[in-house]
Amino acid sequence: MYKFLLTLGWLWCSWATTCFAQSDMLSLQKKGISIQHYSKGSYLKCLLKNGVWVTGYIMQLKNDSVTLKPFHIVQFANPWGTASVDTQWLAIFKFHHHQIIGFPKSKYEGFIYIKNGALFKGGAVLYTLVNLIGRGRTAFEPRNLVNLGIAAAFFTAGVILKQQYKPYYPIGKKYTTRYTAL
């Protein structure tokens, strides 16, 4: 009886460890420190080398490859003529994790209007309008050229910031992906 219970206990433990074992993991790291983990069943949104944003749930992580079940949330007109929202599931997509070149930044990122240059460009346009309309001056009056030069400098700074800003974490020196087999 003792051997039977011991064998039954061993079988139950081996079943529990195989059925509820952890799956492989993909992690986004910033300077070697993990900031986000992805495993089977996780929601993944990433930018691939071909320039396409892929959104979906991870079906499988195995041998450095990611199997994704992508979807789109679409809006359509129902039979009553009002708008409805539905999930459109697409074909299963498989790719290597080295094809990922970026992960989206949080939509709650601070100072976004300064980082992407919109505040500088908008401020330059408003400064130009106030300078020209509010003071009743002509555009290229000699005493007005300095103010127009300041507005042009701020607009140029906004354009440069817009070119340098990326709405995603680029994979490279600072951010890396790491595949962990468990």
Residues 44-85: pLDDT tens digits? 999 999 999 999 999 988 887 889 999 888 898 888 989 899
Half-sphere exposure of 18 (CA within 13 A, CB side): 6
State yes or no: pLDDT of 119 exceeds 50.
Answer: yes
From residue 26, give the alpha-carbon distance in Å to each of 34, 44, 138, 180. Answer: 10, 10, 61, 6
Q: Classify residue 127 as exposed, middle or buried by CB count within 10 Å of its CB (0-12, 13-18, 19+).
A: middle
Residue % of the chain over a pLDDT of 70: 85
* Tokens describing residue 167: 């709405």
From residue 36, give the alpha-carbon distance in Å to each of 25, 56, 153. Answer: 10, 16, 39
- What are the boundaries of each domain within the chain? 18-105+168-180, 112-164
Hey, is 170 helix, strand or coil?
Answer: strand
State yes or no: pLDDT of 2 exceeds 70.
Answer: no
State yes or no: pLDDT of 19 exceeds 60.
Answer: no
Is CATH 2.30.30 correct for 18-105+168-180?
yes
Q: Which residue has the tokens 């900031």?
A: 35
Contact 37, 26 (CB under 8 A): yes
Q: Which residue has the tokens 């061993």?
A: 10
